[in-house]
Structure 1
Amino acid sequence: MEKVVNAKINYQVKTKKTRLTPKNVPYFFIGPAFLLILIFTVYPVISSFILSFQEVRGVEKSFVGISNYTRLFQDPIFYKSLLNTFQILIVQVPIMLFLSLLIAVGLHSSMLKGKAFFRISYFMPAITALVAASIVFMILLDENFGLVNYFLSFLGVDSIPWLTTPFWAKVSVILVMTWRWTGYNMVIFLAGLQNIPSDLYEAASIDGAGKVKQFFMITIPQLKPVFIFTVVMSTIGSLQLFDEPFILTGGGPNNATMTITVYLYETAFKFFDFGYASAIAYVLVIITAIISFIQMKLVGDE
């Protein structure tokens, strides 16, 4: 009888422990997400890497070694797309971040009324459908009937071929990118400004520092982590630039706005050269990683 009671008690204790501290329950929660990551992220990454060493003809694949990569570095269009991407990056990112900082400082001012309205207004382009926005800009920048040239005509400026000449096509892409992402980065700078202790400004005012000196001696140094984040993320975004040039100009005219990702897309889905497109994708990943690493090292490990 005593053995039966002890066995029953042991069973109840084990059952109770199993219910209270189930070691396998977390795996049931993360299992579906982990499976989706494997299917839609890990598998495509590995598959595209293998594909970069292959040549695809119809449904047949053949191993070609590093010929796709050697071909890439002999491709003038790839160099052209790389140059276009860096030209847009070097011009657009500093302008955008400068405007974002100025707007954030203005919206952070205690003298401004209706802050919520202005914050929403500046952030709205970031959540606007890019296709719709690009169509609107195509209408606005039309050489013959666009509103931009219409208003410029009142200033005595001749009609500008915004989307049909190489220089102005790049300018148009930069304008659309700046319009879309300035408000997004403004919110990040604004969050950084709100985290700066007000005691620093009060102490600087007591010591006789003016607003300009406070801006350069307190605001800018305190925003260093925010600058690092916005510069790195904006650089990565510019290297992956696709939507604006593809919708506005299709990479033209004369490949003037052909970015790396637009060239990758056309190689894969226009010419169906998936092996070569995969090689382009992995070279882009390497370039992005190198530039991000250099930026992080230049501004310091902290």
Structure 2
Amino acid sequence: MRENYAGYLFILPTFVMFVLLFYIPIVQGVFITFTNATLGGTSYEFVGLDNYVWMFSNDLFVFALGWTLVFVFSVTALQLLVGLMAALLLNEIRTGLKETFSAIMMSPYFSAPLAGGVIWFWFLDSNYGLAAMLAADLGTTAPGFLAEGFWPYVSLIVAQTWHDYAYAAIIYLAALASVPRDQYEAAALDGAGRLRRFRDVTLPHLLIPTVIILALRTAWNVAEFAQPFELTAGGPGTRTMLLSILTYRTAFVNLSFSRAFAIGVVMILLAMFAGIVYINAIRQEEELYV
């Protein structure tokens, strides 16, 4: 403490704000899960584990939990893959157009999620969407991307991947820029082709950035709400109900804040579990170089 007091002073304001705006509300929310608090209610009673019993015995919650896990796994994996491909392509550009292409490829990430949802809804709507009009011009009929079969699931995954892949691309591009050029030159002199140089030189420098992206994107994808809500709002019916949308409906439609907070606790635990796994992976990776 005496040696590093200046550092602690610098982080103190951030720590205080986190406590006031993050940790205290979480503790209050966990307490509310043991009550029957409602939106607008002036009083509530202690009900023990009733909200958690309701939650895990509710078929819609069980379905939403399973679909959320599939959604998060699929979107996170695709964001990593597409982001890596975008970063590799941008890293190969040596002309003055690199900044222009970077701005174009990164633009979805800097748009508001709700705006992205409106764009995808306009594109995929089966009545007046661009996809339907293009299909009609070709003499065929576009599937109901937001209403039929497995298409709503695919649409949500693709739309969310499109919106956030640039986050991974930005981090990967920074990591690629830090790879020493002489390592590539040495590998080329040894006769290594492009694939081998990528495997032996590039990939080792991308392992820790990959774990960081996985931790952050997993946590954020668990909580994604605006764009999925704009596209399907959990429908048709409840077929694409994510935990985030179920939390909203439970709190602001059914007016049960205590049950909504209970669902939120599950979402927090999912994000924390992913973070712990990825942090342990970083530590194991760092130990390899000690």
TM-score by length of 2: 0.87
Q: Please tell me the root mean square deviation across aligned C-alpha atoms, in Å.
A: 2.4
Q: For residue 199 of structure 1, what is the aligned residue in structure 2? A: 182
**Cα deviation code 1:190-249 (max 9, x no counterpart):** 001001111110110110101111011211121101111112222112211211211111
Distance 1:182 1:287, change over 3 A: closer
Of the three residues 134, 146, 151, the one matched with 1:163 is: 146
Q: Is the 8 A contact 1:166 1:256 kept in 2?
A: no
Which of 63, 71, 76 lines up with 1:93 in the alignment? 76
Q: State the Cα distance separating 1:189 from its structure 2 match.
A: 0.6
Hey, what does 1:238 align to over in structure 2? 221
| Equivalent residue, structure 1, for 2:23 | 42
Runs of 4+ in 1 over 4 A off after TM superposition: 29-38, 110-113, 153-157
Report the counterpart of residue 53 of structure 1 in structure 2: 34
CA positional deviation for 1:143 = 0.5
Q: Which amino acid is 2:34 matched to?
A: F
SS at match of 2:179: coil
Q: Distance in 1 between matches of 2:260 and 2:129?
A: 36
- Following superposition, the deviation at residue 166 of structure 1 comes to 5.0
User: Highest Rg: 1 or 2?
Assistant: 1
Normalising by structure 1, what TM-score?
A: 0.84
Aligned-partner Cα distance in 1 for 2:255–2:278: 35
- Structure 1: 5+ residue stretches without partners: 1-22
2:155 paired with 1:178: no
3-state DSSP class of the match of 1:54?
Answer: coil
Which residues in structure 2 correspond to 1:107-122 (within 5 Å)? Answer: 107-111=90-94, 113-122=96-105
CA distance in 2, matches of 1:45, 1:129: 26
Q: Does 1:151 pair with 2:134?
A: yes
Aligned length: 277
Q: Would you say the 8 A contact 1:144–1:159 is kept in 2?
A: no
Q: Match for 2:258: what amino acid?
A: G
**Residue 224 (1) aligns with residue 188 (2):** no
CA offset digits 1:3-38 (Å, max 9, x no partner): xxxxxxxxxxxxxxxxxxxx9xx98x9887666544
How many percent identity over aligned positions?
29
Of the candidates 123, 142, 153, which is equivalent to residue 140 of structure 1?
A: 123
Other structure's SS at 1:55 match: coil
The superposition leaves residues 160-189 of structure 1 with CA deviations (integer Å, 9 ceiling, x where unpaired) of: 111122521112211211111112211111
Aligned to 1:128: 111
Residues 146-172 of structure 1, C-alpha deviation per residue, up to 9 Å, x if partnerless? 111222445565221111225211122
1:62-120 superposed Cα distances (whole Å, 9 cap, x missing partner)? 00112211221111111111111112123222222111111111110144550000111
Conserved? CA contact 2:211–2:281, under 8 Å: no
Aligned to 1:68: 51
How far apart are the structure 2 equivalents of 1:34 and 1:92? Answer: 31
